[in-house]
A and B are shown apart, each in its own frame.
Chain A
Amino acid sequence: MMHIVIVGAGECGARAAFALREKAFDGEITLIGAETHLPYERPPLSKDGLVSAAPPKYVADADRYDEAGITVLTDAVVEKIDRGGKAVMLSDGRSIEYDRLLLATGARPRAFPGVPEGSPHIRMLRTHADALAIRAALEPGRRIAIIGGGFIGLELAATARKLGAGVTLLEGLPRVLSRGVPEEIAAVIAERHRSEGVEIICGATISGIEDNGNGALILLADGGSISADIVVVGIGAIPNADLAEAAGLAIENGIAVDETLRTSDSDIYAAGDCCSYPLTHYGGRRVRLEAWRNAQDQGTLVATNLIGGSEPVSSVPWFWSDQYELTLQIAGLADGAARTVRRDMEEGAFILFHLDADGRLIAASGIGPGNAVARDIRLAEILIAAGARPDPAALASPETKLKKLLAA
């Protein structure tokens, strides 16, 4: 019986396992995760999950794995891939043979250089355990300093304010969300944080972080310092490609895969945060996406290919973030845009449509309260996937329903 082994029990690995069954694969499936939990959703960790300190929001309950005949090994660390013997070696000495292997190993937070590991006052956020540890330090009167003005840092700032803690957020670049989010939208978010009392310091150069026993001290290059009860570092992520690299697989900003998510070994695939792949919508440029939807989409797609298919990745990159009452959604990659068209909507919501030099829609970025921009961003995603060249005047006018453009 064919055995598919999945290393990495996160969103992507779990989705791949279930998708295999949905595609009528009747062989053996083993899903191996290093954490003690079954696969859970990570997006809540910086949002509501942190506020409630509730148990993880599981991708699926235990009985669904049983019903689907998926063997889940938790608290199991894969130490090595033996490509010749087609087996993975676990740290407890077990060896598990595979016919096809999927690496869905995700990414880990980038550490701040020189910071000693294990400080209770200097943390990163990736796992449920991390979230619980950060949550324990947040309450009214406490102070959190966040390093990094990306999605994780900003979501954490909003959540910390909700919990009543004082927040200072430090960003090295001149503005927050400089990667992939247009300046007009980043400005709305920064202003919303400031109105909540978050101190945002951009252009900060940090020379060190010290644990001073009761908390931590951030040392700034200009001689200043910031003290906090807890410091959380959120300065990006590093793909977990070590296993693949040690096994001699091609690496390029993560595990290098082709458009079908196959690595340089034809029996090994990779999907999700850990891999870089050629993105057909954008001239085949190689990207690596750290995004929940991407993990799901690639998990689903790779299941098809693990059992003999050869479907290329076709989904448009899609990201979202929730901060306070605001939701930001982005479809596509905006860099390379020649022109941006703004659509103003109710309640201060707006969408920026990004067009290339040929008038082709390549991305759309929107922000507003609740789900104000959701439907139009989703329609934009469909238009992007279709290679549409919508009329800029129609895009700008909120009276024009985007759905009408689909038929055009």
Chain B
Amino acid sequence: MSSNWVEVCAAGEIDEEDVIRFDHEGRTFAVYRSPDDEYFATDGLCTHEHIHLADGLVMDDIIECPKHNGRFNYKTGQARGAPVCVNLRTYPVKVEGGSVFIAIA
């Protein structure tokens, strides 16, 4: 299935070691910029109680849910301990012409 690249924002709109929320066609995503200036994207809602992860805290390669501190590795989507046990889906990201795009399958 071919990917559908969607423009998220200008690259500079996401602070280093931070995350923003991106909504597209009824779905919500979280798009991250790592401390070493790489970009990543995951589903936007925590798999524990469907809280927006973009309100949470990015530390190194971890996103922590703002509600109950569930943690995920945002590069791999892997759940990293209680209370979350279901991984996040991740999406390919590219930066082109100063903008961030994610591939929504």
Contacts and interface: CB of A to CB of B under 8 A. Distances in A.
B30 to A, nearest CB: 13
Contact of A371 (B17, B67, B83, B85): B67
A44 B64 CA distance: 20
9 contacts: A296-B82, A296-B83, A320-B67, A371-B56, A371-B66, A374-B56, A378-B64, A378-B66, A403-B57
A60 interface: yes
B82 to A, nearest CB: 5
Interface string A380-408: 00000000000000000000000100000
Nearest to B54: A371
Contact of A378 (B57, B82, B83): B57
Interface string B42-74: 000000000110011100000010111100000
B51 A371 contact: yes
B56 A60 contact: no
Interface string B13-57: 000010000000000000000000000000000000001100111
A15 to B, nearest CB: 5
A374 B82 contact: no
Contact of A300 (B64, B66, B69, B82): B82
A152 B83 CA distance: 21
Nearest to A378: B57
Interface string B67-98: 11100000000000111010000000000000
B102 to A, nearest CB: 22
B57 A379 contact: yes
Nearest to B18: A403
Given A64-B85, A371-B51, A375-B57, 19 more contacts: A15-B82, A18-B82, A22-B81, A293-B68, A293-B69, A296-B82, A299-B82, A318-B69, A320-B67, A320-B68, A370-B55, A371-B55, A371-B56, A374-B56, A375-B56, A375-B66, A378-B57, A378-B69, A403-B17
Interface in A19-47: 22, 41
Contacts of A300: 81-82
Interface of A: 15, 18, 22, 41, 59-60, 64, 292-293, 296, 299-300, 318, 320, 327, 370-371, 374-375, 378-379, 403
Contacts of A292: 68
A379 B81 CA distance: 19
A362 B69 CA distance: 20
A296 B82 CA distance: 7
Contacts of B85: 60, 64
> Ordered nearest first, which 9 A-B pairs have the shortest CB separation?
A374-B66, A371-B55, A371-B66, A378-B57, A375-B57, A296-B82, A15-B82, A374-B55, A375-B66
Contacts of B17: 403
B100 to A, nearest CB: 21
B17, B52, B68 pick with most chain A CB within 10 angstroms: B68
A64, A296, A327, A371 pick with most chain B CB within 10 angstroms: A371
A378 B70 CA distance: 12
A178 to B, nearest CB: 25
B82 A375 contact: no
Nearest to B15: A401
Contacts of B81: 22, 300
Nearest to B64: A378
A18 B83 CA distance: 11
B57 A371 contact: no
A240 B83 CA distance: 24
A59 B17 CA distance: 31
Given A378-B64, A379-B57, A371 B52 contact: yes
A121 B66 CA distance: 37
A22 B66 CA distance: 24
Contacts of A64: 85
A300 B82 CA distance: 9
B5 to A, nearest CB: 29
A300, A327, A370 pick with most chain B CB within 10 angstroms: A370
B67 to A, nearest CB: 7
A41 B52 CA distance: 20
A290 to B, nearest CB: 16
B51, B52, B56, B67 pick with most chain A CB within 10 angstroms: B67
B12 to A, nearest CB: 16
Nearest to A402: B57
A380 to B, nearest CB: 11
B17, B52, B55, B66 pick with most chain A CB within 10 angstroms: B66
A31 to B, nearest CB: 15
B16 to A, nearest CB: 10
Contacts of B56: 371, 374-375, 378
Nearest to B51: A371
